[in-house]
Structure 1
């Protein structure tokens, strides 16, 4: 007896979206195959199409139809229902024969229906239930011999065993797959528009459609469950994450129960795993049929997906995976323990997969195995948090594994936790002796290169150079990690020693070797160092090119979360600051803070320093004060590289100078860094910090002596940016000391040098001190056109007019503050100067010579001499130098 409903196309849902366009190309094609998992609208599409056709037979197949007699019964009756089809003998043959020959049956049918003139289409829905060989062979015969205007349209969840290659070649095969049946964005919008009695933002609908990969069943469930916009949002999230019981029920009824018990058990076993291959199936199921089982799963469309970049590896469909985890708990299937999963992955050399299970298992032995197998891969991929978690698990066991000690030391170094590396290695060496470990030559070389790094951390550059070179002598292979790091340290040492070209060459060699070893962080660090070298040499575009390469590598290898990324960001902040682009500098600082927020607070020092410099340039003293306070706190509690200390001191001194905090400057000078030489940019900065402090205190001779030595070192090492900065400061000091000829020469050199260095803001910051020399320089007929233009630009940026006289710092308001201040010298209070004498002292402070003072005041030079003499007598001064020092002291009180 037949079930009549199996021979009729099911009714369409009220909210169905028309999709007939998907079958547009099926016209005049013999065989159509629609292959997709459950719930992708195969039946709805066929039903919609059938309703538009004349002469269409429908057969809904189930698992009971995988029998020749049963199949033939429904198949023949479906076609017999079509108007104009007469096959009484065929129907009788089906009724009478219990052991049917299907090919003979179909032959009879073709002969009986030979006079059928109209096109005919047969739809077989859910054909994946058919695996019987006799049915497949007979149906193949049927397709081959059916009239040209007949069509067969099949829907299935799995690849069919029908021979179709010949039809494909003859262009008589039409195929639709999951990609075509997934809802497009437009279809999802139309679907919910017809399904909901409330409006949802299109972005919400599109996000859901993307999350479920256009799966119609998931969208239908959200539509059924949602009563308003709030519930839509809640259910959309649950369905997208496969966390709703209705979705699990659907998988259970439509997918899971149709699988064999063996496949069900296998899927439940592999559910916790992110991927699987035949060997793992053999191990999990204690079988040797892994390949066959994997093939069976693969035949079930979309149950497992072949991973494109990993040969012979498969992964569960993400929706199915969550259902399987739920099902395992529901039927009390004992899941694999974290230890079992971790062991499984490690056995297959899949350390990345093993890592989370190893950490959850808290098994020391497994953790050590993982670190030995993949510790350096984790390191080079920047997975420092996971590395630290592993080291936390193995605790004291680390001392039994020198190779892991080396790994942890470099992890600390990569975090720039310099202060931890030296004591850690010292403790390690004690523990090696205690445990009587015999260290290999490889480990000894590794320890030597770490000590070289410690030396460079501590500023012992020559020691670092010696130790790194000794490592190279003891280690023959140029591709070894130890060798690469040793060469990196040699490059850094030469950079610190001012041998820039040699340093650059070492970094270039490291880039080549480290690239071959996939040591991405070393490559990035060397590119950054090269950028600093090129910047110091005023090769700005080349520096930017190197920096861009470093940033591209950081992004390519997803290392944006590492503190390493902060270095190129800081570099660009400094460039923006020098160019006066303070808004950009602030934005880059915020990016840097985002990078370092997960790391030790010591990382904040340099970013705070840069932010403080910008705040001071903008005149935001409140923000600058907060930042300087934080900088002070960090400097008290941490150890830092000389570079960061120099930069922090620059910001502190700038703040103190603007606030006339003489006491703070004097206190700082007592312990200020005083380099023996300045062959690099940070020692140059240390010296300029000293120079600015002495200038503020009126100690111009001391400032001049350091500035001259700084200039010699910068020129020797061809530090072009530092030479330019030093020339500007030299001009400022020489103006104060009335050495106008030297000042004019150095300012001319500074302006000319700035054509290549691009420095502008350094001139602006010293504009008050440079102003007296600008006039003479502007009138110099020997000045070339380019230098003249740059000078005019600097004057404009500084807001200086050459026709404007120097500003008198000692106006009536300033004089009142000075005379009432508790720190004002007694002579100044007891023997008051006249307004004209205050004006003379102010013009002396501005660097004006006698004839310039006379010109500004509109009096004869002899009168000015008299005024100067009176000022000296009243204030107990011997010469102009003492007058300058006193004026600096008084201005600090204003």
Structure 2
């Protein structure tokens, strides 16, 4: 169970043995199981929760329970608890989504609900999900999410909602579709028979039928009203006289009965009830801390209250945690505020001090969010701030955005100006809740407030944090220069102990340098971020930095190192959000493409795209799909590449992503040239000023000098940068152009340089994509024994371009094998030949261990051998390796 989950919220209240049987309502609930939703909507004290817990105890259907409260209005927190409730039925349900919820940019609620609903469809039995006290939820995104869930709910799931007010769902539509069962005030009211059972058998009052009818009439069957009346009657010698004087509508009855109940309690019990009403949940030691120096222990008093039926509800089977009936708790709080001299000796209660005692207890017991909330309620700004900062990892970094935001909004400008840290925290919370337009005004307020403070370590740290937040905003806007300038200011000023902000800022700096093509600086920043995040335990930033390092290595043409770095990132993810791994899969896809393993490239593109879609990262979806287009082109699938490219163009237009148009157009030019559409290719290349594309168009048109001039000018333009992959592409294209121009010696010399640079990275596709002219040039190089092993590798790859892999295998081995090996089987066989274990092969190819073993069996069968050593020997004999 997630440590941030309060497990008592997931416990189904135990059905009490002395409860009044509600057979008519139980039958109504049973009859509605075929519908999507059962809505139990009624005022406080009508027995909604009791009814549902009684029904579940006897309905022979699996059930999950979630008790809701005000703090659950954060959509991510709400969904976290929904999944936690469902995991009481199926332990692994929603694990991936819980990881996504911890990511820096979680996907939208609807996206995660789709994934959750897909998982629920695999549950093999019918079950009920109960959301108790839904009236505590007033956030529209949650209402929309529940509406979406109801409209797409799998048939094995049934939702039950108890609430004091109707939720903002399309109830009329659900009624029209016969997907709604409703139980309301009129249904829940005790009739005379049920009231007789309750008052005379459960409460043992022995009232006459006349008195019971009178009480039912005056309370209108309101269960809590009857219960409160019954408690009051216990202290009267003449119940009939009491009932005659018992008048008024619900609100007056409520005040009157609470007064009557409280008057019959001892001074100690009243004092305990009032003081502990500030607590949402109660346990013995927490009550001891709040009450301070009481004659009885908190646990003894809680057990006494439960036995006395004083509106206290156990939250676990061990009777450790309790809560007051919500209505009772509200009234106690109201009385606590209205009348502060009810305690022994008429000493007024210091409510702020009660909250401070509760805050101290919660902090000692590692409930940091609750400790913060009570400090905030006490008005202790200094303590609340300290708890908010959370020893280096602020509370809003740990899911407490709603209570932190609520507190900061409640503070006066004077209070914030007196403590600029609060302005900075406010800006940080707003940036995390995607309210980006409101961030800068808070930062300006923080800077204005800091003018009146002496510059010391604390104020310098605030200056650094302000800059770090601005760097984050610039990252979202892709303003590279601002990312760098603000990040450098941040790192210069942030305290060395503020590892959370320092690490994230260093990683952002690496991203900015990488985008600028300053790869040495990017590697330095990523390496530093990896070191700091590893020592501080910030796994997400560490993974993102490792992936960033892999990107820089790939741009330096160090493909083997980049490959291992991406794999390292994937191995590190464990319980961290897998969504942050999409860049690793994308990087691996590019390398597999370059190594001409097109099937593996597509496999990793699909993984990257899937993860990017989960967090709705449109930018990354476009990047992955552009690689997909190139891979389809390499496989000769012109129609498929054209279709995917058109989809990308629509997304770019839809999201107004002007910054991606040039890159998309560059890929489109490649497709147009293969299709022979020179006019449109030329237009695109000129419109978007694409030097390499223009050179290719000139080459296709026969304008050799123009092509060379275009490439030389572009090479000089980027020569000061460290993007070696782009420069290698330019030089390889220039090699082909020189060859066409008849400059054979120059062409071969440049090819030699290119081969020397490309060999360590095992570049293949970069040569293959230049087509027949490159093949002819490589034949000449091979004839002249220029790097013969590498040129032979490339020429063999050209041969496989002409004949599919299976066809080639059939042609060579048809006389030797009963059945040819597939491409994946050849790949596995090669790794066996390299001495890799099944586990190593599984990790290298990102496939299950059982899948590797299955490949082994088929390879052995086709080669007609029994063990690995024989398979390798036979493969060498047949020249398969």
Structure-1-length-normalised TM-score: 0.45
Q: Rg: which structure is higher?
A: 1
Larger RCO (CA within 8 A; separation ≥ 6): 2
Q: What TM-score results when the alignment is normalised by the length of structure 2?
A: 0.46
